[in-house]
Amino acid sequence: MSSAASAVQTPKTFAPRIFSGIQPSGGLTLGNYLGALKRFVEKQDEGIETIYCLVDLHAITVWQDPKVLRQQTREAAAGFIAAGIDPKRSILFNQSQVSAHAELGWIFNCVARMGWMSRMTQWKDKTAGKNAEAASLGLFAYPALMAADILAYHATMVPVGEDQRQHLELTRDIAIKFNNDYDVDFFPVVEPVIEGVATRVMSLRDGTKKMSKSDPSDQTRINLTDDADTIAAKIRKAKTDPKPLPDSIDGLKDRPEARNLVNIYAALAGHSVDQVIRDFAGAQFGTFKPALADLAVATLSPITAEMSRLMADAAEIDRILADGADRADALAQPILEQVFDITGMIRSRRKPSTAFQG
Protein backbone atom coordinates (compact mmCIF):
# COMPACT_ATOMS: atom_id res chain seq x y z
CA MET A 1 0.00 0.00 0.00
CA SER A 2 1.49 3.42 -0.93
CA SER A 3 1.49 6.18 1.67
CA ALA A 4 -0.74 8.27 -0.62
CA ALA A 5 -3.30 5.47 -0.64
CA SER A 6 -3.11 4.92 3.11
CA ALA A 7 -3.52 8.67 3.73
CA VAL A 8 -6.99 8.73 2.18
CA GLN A 9 -8.22 5.47 3.66
CA THR A 10 -10.47 5.57 6.70
CA PRO A 11 -8.96 3.65 9.59
CA LYS A 12 -9.90 -0.02 9.70
CA THR A 13 -12.50 -0.93 12.30
CA PHE A 14 -11.92 -4.00 14.40
CA ALA A 15 -14.59 -6.23 15.89
CA PRO A 16 -14.80 -5.84 19.68
CA ARG A 17 -12.63 -8.46 21.33
CA ILE A 18 -11.38 -8.56 24.89
CA PHE A 19 -8.02 -9.90 25.96
CA SER A 20 -6.48 -9.90 29.42
CA GLY A 21 -3.95 -11.85 31.41
CA ILE A 22 -2.73 -12.67 34.89
CA GLN A 23 0.72 -13.86 35.93
CA PRO A 24 0.73 -17.23 37.71
CA SER A 25 3.74 -16.09 39.71
CA GLY A 26 1.90 -16.43 43.03
CA GLY A 27 -1.58 -17.24 44.25
CA LEU A 28 -4.48 -15.02 43.16
CA THR A 29 -5.23 -12.17 45.57
CA LEU A 30 -8.31 -10.14 46.39
CA GLY A 31 -6.68 -7.40 44.27
CA ASN A 32 -6.58 -9.72 41.25
CA TYR A 33 -10.14 -10.80 41.95
CA LEU A 34 -11.71 -7.36 42.33
CA GLY A 35 -9.44 -5.49 39.90
CA ALA A 36 -9.46 -8.11 37.16
CA LEU A 37 -11.15 -11.49 37.54
CA LYS A 38 -14.59 -10.29 38.68
CA ARG A 39 -14.60 -7.85 35.77
CA PHE A 40 -13.45 -10.57 33.32
CA VAL A 41 -16.58 -12.51 34.27
CA GLU A 42 -18.77 -9.43 33.77
CA LYS A 43 -17.32 -8.88 30.29
CA GLN A 44 -17.87 -12.52 29.39
CA ASP A 45 -21.46 -12.27 30.59
CA GLU A 46 -22.01 -9.13 28.46
CA GLY A 47 -21.53 -11.44 25.47
CA ILE A 48 -18.32 -9.86 24.11
CA GLU A 49 -15.70 -12.29 22.75
CA THR A 50 -13.29 -12.81 25.66
CA ILE A 51 -9.79 -14.31 25.71
CA TYR A 52 -8.08 -14.83 29.07
CA CYS A 53 -4.50 -15.94 29.47
CA LEU A 54 -2.27 -17.19 32.27
CA VAL A 55 0.97 -15.56 31.29
CA ASP A 56 3.55 -18.15 32.31
CA LEU A 57 6.21 -16.68 29.98
CA HIS A 58 5.87 -13.39 31.81
CA ALA A 59 6.12 -15.15 35.18
CA ILE A 60 9.62 -16.46 34.43
CA THR A 61 11.01 -12.94 33.93
CA VAL A 62 11.86 -13.54 37.58
CA TRP A 63 12.94 -17.05 38.54
CA GLN A 64 10.15 -19.51 39.34
CA ASP A 65 10.45 -22.98 40.73
CA PRO A 66 9.13 -25.10 37.81
CA LYS A 67 6.98 -27.35 40.03
CA VAL A 68 5.47 -24.39 41.82
CA LEU A 69 4.85 -22.53 38.56
CA ARG A 70 2.95 -25.50 37.11
CA GLN A 71 0.89 -25.76 40.29
CA GLN A 72 0.14 -22.04 40.36
CA THR A 73 -0.83 -22.00 36.69
CA ARG A 74 -3.38 -24.76 37.32
CA GLU A 75 -4.54 -23.03 40.48
CA ALA A 76 -5.05 -19.75 38.59
CA ALA A 77 -7.04 -21.62 35.92
CA ALA A 78 -9.15 -23.16 38.68
CA GLY A 79 -9.60 -19.68 40.19
CA PHE A 80 -10.85 -18.29 36.89
CA ILE A 81 -13.38 -21.09 36.46
CA ALA A 82 -14.46 -20.96 40.11
CA ALA A 83 -15.01 -17.19 39.79
CA GLY A 84 -17.32 -17.69 36.82
CA ILE A 85 -15.23 -17.91 33.67
CA ASP A 86 -16.90 -20.50 31.46
CA PRO A 87 -14.18 -22.10 29.34
CA LYS A 88 -16.72 -22.75 26.59
CA ARG A 89 -17.79 -19.12 26.26
CA SER A 90 -14.37 -17.56 26.99
CA ILE A 91 -11.03 -18.79 25.72
CA LEU A 92 -8.89 -19.72 28.75
CA PHE A 93 -5.32 -20.90 28.23
CA ASN A 94 -1.71 -20.51 29.29
CA GLN A 95 0.53 -18.31 27.18
CA SER A 96 3.40 -20.72 26.48
CA GLN A 97 1.07 -23.11 24.63
CA VAL A 98 0.50 -20.56 21.85
CA SER A 99 3.81 -19.77 20.21
CA ALA A 100 2.48 -16.62 18.49
CA HIS A 101 3.00 -14.73 21.78
CA ALA A 102 6.75 -15.30 21.85
CA GLU A 103 7.12 -14.84 18.09
CA LEU A 104 5.22 -11.56 17.94
CA GLY A 105 6.96 -10.54 21.18
CA TRP A 106 10.26 -10.76 19.31
CA ILE A 107 8.97 -8.59 16.47
CA PHE A 108 7.82 -6.02 19.02
CA ASN A 109 11.24 -6.11 20.69
CA CYS A 110 12.42 -4.71 17.37
CA VAL A 111 9.65 -2.07 17.25
CA ALA A 112 9.79 -0.83 20.86
CA ARG A 113 12.61 1.55 21.79
CA MET A 114 15.01 1.14 24.71
CA GLY A 115 13.98 4.59 25.96
CA TRP A 116 10.30 3.57 26.13
CA MET A 117 11.16 0.49 28.15
CA SER A 118 13.45 2.34 30.54
CA ARG A 119 10.61 4.72 31.39
CA MET A 120 8.25 1.95 32.52
CA THR A 121 7.50 2.55 36.20
CA GLN A 122 7.16 -1.20 36.90
CA TRP A 123 10.68 -1.79 35.56
CA LYS A 124 11.94 1.11 37.66
CA ASP A 125 10.09 -0.12 40.77
CA LYS A 126 11.26 -3.71 40.37
CA THR A 127 14.89 -2.68 40.00
CA ALA A 128 14.85 0.26 42.46
CA GLY A 129 17.55 -0.11 45.09
CA LYS A 130 18.74 -3.33 43.40
CA ASN A 131 21.37 -4.05 40.82
CA ALA A 132 19.49 -3.43 37.54
CA GLU A 133 22.35 -5.12 35.67
CA ALA A 134 21.37 -8.38 37.36
CA ALA A 135 17.72 -8.18 36.26
CA SER A 136 16.76 -10.46 33.37
CA LEU A 137 16.54 -9.10 29.85
CA GLY A 138 13.04 -10.60 29.85
CA LEU A 139 11.99 -8.32 32.70
CA PHE A 140 13.09 -5.31 30.68
CA ALA A 141 11.29 -6.53 27.55
CA TYR A 142 8.21 -7.62 29.54
CA PRO A 143 5.87 -4.91 28.16
CA ALA A 144 6.67 -5.81 24.52
CA LEU A 145 5.53 -9.39 25.20
CA MET A 146 2.42 -7.98 26.85
CA ALA A 147 1.71 -5.94 23.71
CA ALA A 148 2.14 -9.15 21.70
CA ASP A 149 -0.36 -10.97 23.95
CA ILE A 150 -3.00 -8.41 23.13
CA LEU A 151 -2.21 -7.60 19.52
CA ALA A 152 -1.77 -11.24 18.41
CA TYR A 153 -5.58 -11.36 18.62
CA HIS A 154 -6.31 -7.87 17.33
CA ALA A 155 -7.97 -7.38 20.71
CA THR A 156 -9.58 -3.96 21.08
CA MET A 157 -10.31 -3.81 24.83
CA VAL A 158 -8.17 -4.82 27.77
CA PRO A 159 -9.71 -4.89 31.26
CA VAL A 160 -6.97 -4.39 33.88
CA GLY A 161 -6.27 -2.73 37.21
CA GLU A 162 -4.77 0.76 37.42
CA ASP A 163 -1.18 -0.57 37.70
CA GLN A 164 -1.30 -1.78 34.07
CA ARG A 165 -2.25 1.59 32.52
CA GLN A 166 1.27 2.50 31.45
CA HIS A 167 1.82 -0.92 29.87
CA LEU A 168 -1.32 -0.43 27.80
CA GLU A 169 -0.15 3.00 26.69
CA LEU A 170 3.03 1.30 25.50
CA THR A 171 0.90 -1.29 23.66
CA ARG A 172 -0.79 1.59 21.85
CA ASP A 173 2.59 3.13 21.00
CA ILE A 174 3.89 -0.18 19.64
CA ALA A 175 0.76 -0.66 17.48
CA ILE A 176 1.02 2.89 16.12
CA LYS A 177 4.77 2.61 15.42
CA PHE A 178 4.37 -0.76 13.69
CA ASN A 179 1.54 0.61 11.52
CA ASN A 180 3.64 3.69 10.65
CA ASP A 181 6.94 1.87 10.10
CA TYR A 182 5.37 -0.56 7.65
CA ASP A 183 2.76 1.85 6.29
CA VAL A 184 -0.14 -0.43 7.10
CA ASP A 185 -3.36 -0.13 9.06
CA PHE A 186 -2.92 -3.49 10.68
CA PHE A 187 -2.95 -3.35 14.48
CA PRO A 188 -5.79 -1.80 16.47
CA VAL A 189 -5.00 0.89 19.02
CA VAL A 190 -6.38 -0.76 22.15
CA GLU A 191 -8.60 0.76 24.82
CA PRO A 192 -7.68 0.17 28.45
CA VAL A 193 -10.79 -0.77 30.45
CA ILE A 194 -10.02 0.40 33.98
CA GLU A 195 -13.40 0.60 35.68
CA GLY A 196 -15.07 0.31 39.06
CA VAL A 197 -14.14 1.10 42.65
CA ALA A 198 -11.44 -1.56 42.99
CA THR A 199 -8.97 -0.76 40.24
CA ARG A 200 -6.31 -0.36 42.92
CA VAL A 201 -6.83 -2.54 46.01
CA MET A 202 -4.24 -1.61 48.59
CA SER A 203 -2.25 -3.61 51.14
CA LEU A 204 -4.08 -4.40 54.40
CA ARG A 205 -1.00 -3.20 56.28
CA ASP A 206 -0.19 -0.01 54.36
CA GLY A 207 -2.90 1.88 52.50
CA THR A 208 -0.33 3.56 50.25
CA LYS A 209 1.00 0.27 48.82
CA LYS A 210 -0.74 -1.99 46.27
CA MET A 211 -1.98 -5.38 47.50
CA SER A 212 0.40 -7.74 45.74
CA LYS A 213 1.01 -11.49 45.47
CA SER A 214 4.75 -10.78 45.67
CA ASP A 215 4.68 -8.88 49.00
CA PRO A 216 6.82 -10.85 51.49
CA SER A 217 4.13 -10.54 54.18
CA ASP A 218 1.04 -12.71 53.73
CA GLN A 219 -0.83 -10.43 56.18
CA THR A 220 -0.91 -7.66 53.55
CA ARG A 221 -3.24 -9.59 51.25
CA ILE A 222 -6.20 -11.90 51.08
CA ASN A 223 -5.54 -14.92 48.87
CA LEU A 224 -8.31 -16.73 47.02
CA THR A 225 -7.09 -19.88 48.78
CA ASP A 226 -7.46 -18.43 52.32
CA ASP A 227 -10.06 -20.10 54.51
CA ALA A 228 -12.82 -18.18 56.30
CA ASP A 229 -10.93 -17.87 59.60
CA THR A 230 -7.81 -16.56 57.86
CA ILE A 231 -9.80 -13.97 55.91
CA ALA A 232 -11.58 -12.78 59.06
CA ALA A 233 -8.31 -12.60 61.01
CA LYS A 234 -6.54 -10.63 58.29
CA ILE A 235 -9.38 -8.11 58.11
CA ARG A 236 -9.54 -7.85 61.91
CA LYS A 237 -5.82 -7.06 62.01
CA ALA A 238 -5.89 -4.70 58.99
CA LYS A 239 -4.32 -1.35 59.73
CA THR A 240 -6.82 1.47 60.33
CA ASP A 241 -6.92 4.84 62.07
CA PRO A 242 -8.72 5.66 65.33
CA LYS A 243 -11.51 7.75 63.78
CA PRO A 244 -15.01 6.43 62.98
CA LEU A 245 -16.13 6.18 59.34
CA PRO A 246 -17.05 9.59 57.93
CA ASP A 247 -20.44 10.65 56.58
CA SER A 248 -19.12 11.73 53.17
CA ILE A 249 -16.49 10.53 50.68
CA ASP A 250 -14.50 13.72 51.35
CA GLY A 251 -13.98 12.46 54.88
CA LEU A 252 -11.86 9.58 53.50
CA LYS A 253 -9.25 12.01 52.19
CA ASP A 254 -5.83 11.38 53.75
CA ARG A 255 -7.15 8.15 55.32
CA PRO A 256 -5.74 5.59 52.86
CA GLU A 257 -6.44 2.52 55.01
CA ALA A 258 -10.04 3.53 55.73
CA ARG A 259 -10.59 4.36 52.07
CA ASN A 260 -9.18 0.99 51.02
CA LEU A 261 -11.49 -1.01 53.31
CA VAL A 262 -14.50 1.03 52.18
CA ASN A 263 -13.56 0.47 48.53
CA ILE A 264 -13.17 -3.26 49.12
CA TYR A 265 -16.57 -3.39 50.79
CA ALA A 266 -18.17 -1.48 47.91
CA ALA A 267 -16.55 -3.72 45.27
CA LEU A 268 -17.52 -6.95 47.05
CA ALA A 269 -21.10 -5.78 47.67
CA GLY A 270 -21.49 -4.28 44.19
CA HIS A 271 -22.44 -0.95 45.82
CA SER A 272 -21.11 2.55 45.20
CA VAL A 273 -18.68 4.02 47.74
CA ASP A 274 -21.38 6.61 48.50
CA GLN A 275 -23.81 3.88 49.46
CA VAL A 276 -21.29 2.23 51.80
CA ILE A 277 -20.53 5.57 53.45
CA ARG A 278 -24.27 6.17 53.93
CA ASP A 279 -24.72 2.71 55.49
CA PHE A 280 -21.76 2.99 57.86
CA ALA A 281 -21.51 6.74 58.60
CA GLY A 282 -20.20 7.19 62.15
CA ALA A 283 -19.48 3.46 62.64
CA GLN A 284 -16.30 2.41 64.42
CA PHE A 285 -13.97 -0.08 62.76
CA GLY A 286 -15.01 -2.50 65.52
CA THR A 287 -18.39 -2.62 63.75
CA PHE A 288 -17.28 -2.16 60.16
CA LYS A 289 -14.52 -4.78 60.10
CA PRO A 290 -16.74 -7.74 61.12
CA ALA A 291 -19.30 -6.67 58.50
CA LEU A 292 -16.54 -6.54 55.88
CA ALA A 293 -15.15 -9.91 57.03
CA ASP A 294 -18.62 -11.51 56.73
CA LEU A 295 -19.08 -10.09 53.26
CA ALA A 296 -15.59 -11.17 52.13
CA VAL A 297 -16.09 -14.69 53.47
CA ALA A 298 -19.57 -14.99 51.91
CA THR A 299 -18.21 -13.90 48.53
CA LEU A 300 -14.89 -15.72 48.50
CA SER A 301 -15.64 -19.00 50.31
CA PRO A 302 -17.69 -20.53 47.48
CA ILE A 303 -14.89 -19.61 45.05
CA THR A 304 -12.23 -21.14 47.32
CA ALA A 305 -14.26 -24.32 47.73
CA GLU A 306 -14.83 -24.67 43.99
CA MET A 307 -11.13 -24.01 43.32
CA SER A 308 -10.04 -26.83 45.58
CA ARG A 309 -12.63 -29.16 44.03
CA LEU A 310 -11.27 -28.36 40.55
CA MET A 311 -7.66 -28.69 41.73
CA ALA A 312 -8.33 -32.33 42.61
CA ASP A 313 -8.44 -33.10 38.87
CA ALA A 314 -5.29 -31.64 37.31
CA ALA A 315 -5.83 -33.61 34.09
CA GLU A 316 -9.17 -31.91 33.55
CA ILE A 317 -7.61 -28.45 34.06
CA ASP A 318 -4.87 -29.34 31.58
CA ARG A 319 -7.51 -30.47 29.10
CA ILE A 320 -9.37 -27.16 29.44
CA LEU A 321 -6.11 -25.24 28.91
CA ALA A 322 -5.28 -27.33 25.85
CA ASP A 323 -8.70 -26.70 24.32
CA GLY A 324 -8.36 -22.94 25.03
CA ALA A 325 -4.87 -22.92 23.52
CA ASP A 326 -6.11 -24.63 20.33
CA ARG A 327 -8.81 -21.99 19.92
CA ALA A 328 -6.40 -19.14 20.75
CA ASP A 329 -3.84 -20.51 18.30
CA ALA A 330 -6.46 -20.63 15.52
CA LEU A 331 -7.11 -16.90 16.03
CA ALA A 332 -3.48 -15.78 16.46
CA GLN A 333 -1.77 -17.81 13.74
CA PRO A 334 -3.30 -16.06 10.69
CA ILE A 335 -2.55 -12.66 12.28
CA LEU A 336 1.04 -13.69 12.96
CA GLU A 337 1.44 -14.95 9.38
CA GLN A 338 0.34 -11.56 8.11
CA VAL A 339 2.87 -9.88 10.41
CA PHE A 340 5.61 -12.04 8.90
CA ASP A 341 4.50 -11.01 5.40
CA ILE A 342 4.38 -7.33 6.34
CA THR A 343 7.88 -7.47 7.83
CA GLY A 344 9.40 -9.33 4.85
CA MET A 345 9.88 -12.86 6.18
CA ILE A 346 9.71 -15.71 3.67
CA ARG A 347 7.03 -18.20 4.72
CA SER A 348 7.34 -20.79 1.98
CA ARG A 349 6.47 -23.68 4.33
CA ARG A 350 2.98 -22.44 5.03
CA LYS A 351 -0.37 -22.87 3.34
CA PRO A 352 -1.03 -20.00 0.86
CA SER A 353 -4.45 -19.18 2.40
CA THR A 354 -2.88 -17.30 5.31
CA ALA A 355 -0.89 -14.74 3.24
CA PHE A 356 -1.32 -11.01 3.95
CA GLN A 357 -3.64 -9.35 1.41
CA GLY A 358 -2.49 -5.77 2.07
Binding of residue 260 to ligand TYM (CB under 6 A):
no
Nearer to ligand TYM, 204 or 232 (CB): 204
329 binds ligand TYM (CB under 6 A): no
Q: Return d(Cα 43, Cα 47) in angstroms, integer.
A: 7
Q: Which of 298, 299, 301 is nearest to 309 (CA)?
A: 301
Q: Rounded to an integer, what distance in angstroms lies between the CA atom of residue 224 and that of residue 10? A: 46
160 binds ligand TYM (CB under 6 A): yes
Which of 20, 44, 179, 338 binds ligand TYM (CB under 6 A)? It is 20
Given the rule CB under 6 A, which of 62-70, 83-91, 132-140, 159-167 is the region that contacts ligand TYM?
Answer: 159-167
Q: Which of 210, 237, 243, 253 is flagged as catalytic?
A: 210
Taking CB under 6 A as the binding criterion, the range among 16-24, 233-241, 247-255, 295-303 that sits at the site for ligand TYM is 16-24
Q: Quote helix, strand, coil % in the chain, to nearest 5.
A: 55, 5, 35
CA angle, 138 then 55 then 26, to 5°:
95
> Cα–Cα distance between 269 and 296 in angstroms, integer?
9
Sign of the dihedral through C-alpha 77, 79, 85, 88 = positive
Is 23 among the residues that bind ligand TYM (CB under 6 A)? yes
Contact segment (CB under 6 A) with ligand TYM among 83-91, 146-154, 223-231, 242-250 equals 146-154
Which residue from 27, 79, 105, 161 is in contact with ligand TYM, where contact means CB under 6 A?
A: 161
Write down the least CB distance from residue 281 to ligand TYM, Å.
Answer: 26
Number of residues interacting with ligand TYM: please give it, by CB under 6 A: 26
Q: Please name which of 225, 235, 226 lies closest in space to residue 204, comparing C-alpha atoms.
A: 235
Query: What's the chain's length in residues?
Result: 358
Binds ligand TYM (CB under 6 A): choice among 83, 112, 144, 158: 158
- Residue choice 163, 191, 227, 279 for contact with ligand TYM (CB under 6 A): 163
Supply the DSSP string of 255-280, one letter for each residue: -HHHHHHHHHHHHHHT--HHHHHHHH
Q: Is 188 in the site for ligand TYM (CB under 6 A)?
A: no
**Binder among 54, 55, 77, 310 for ligand TYM (CB under 6 A):** 55
Identity at 7, one-letter amino acid code:
A
What minimum distance in Å lies between the beta carbon of 202 and ligand TYM?
7
Per CB under 6 A, 94 contacts ligand TYM: no
* CA 83 – CA 99 distance, rounded (Å): 27
**Where in the chain does DSSP place strands (E)?**
17-22, 49-54, 91-94, 157-159, 191-193
Distance CA 38, CA 146 (A): 21
Residue 43 among the catalytic residues:
no
Note whether 164 binds ligand TYM by CB under 6 A. Answer: yes
**Cα–Cα distance between 42 and 157 in angstroms, integer?**
14
> How near is the Cβ of 63 to ligand TYM at its closest, in Å?
16
| Helix (H/G/I), strand (E/B), else coil: 209 | coil
- DSSP line for 65-95: -HHHHHHHHHHHHHHHHHHT--TTTSEEEEG
The verdict on whether 126 is a catalytic residue reads: yes
**Could you give the CA distance from residue 332 to residue 107 in angstroms, rounded to a whole number?**
14
User: Torsions phi, psi of 268, nearest 5?
Assistant: -65, -40
Distance of closest approach, residue 32 Cβ to ligand TYM, in angstroms: 4
Stretch that binds ligand TYM, among 62-70, 79-87, 132-140, 161-169 (CB under 6 A): 161-169
Interface with ligand TYM (CB under 6 A), residue from 17, 18, 27, 32:
32
- Span near ligand TYM by CB under 6 A; candidates 27-35, 42-50, 303-311, 341-349: 27-35
DSSP states of 319-356: HHHHHHHHHHHHHHHHHHHHHHHHHT---TTS-GGG--
Asked about 38 being catalytic, the answer comes back as: no
Query: Which stretches of the chain bind ligand TYM, using CB under 6 A?
Result: 19-23, 31-32, 35-36, 55, 58, 146, 149-150, 158, 160-161, 163-164, 167, 198-201, 210-211
Active site residues: 126, 210, 213
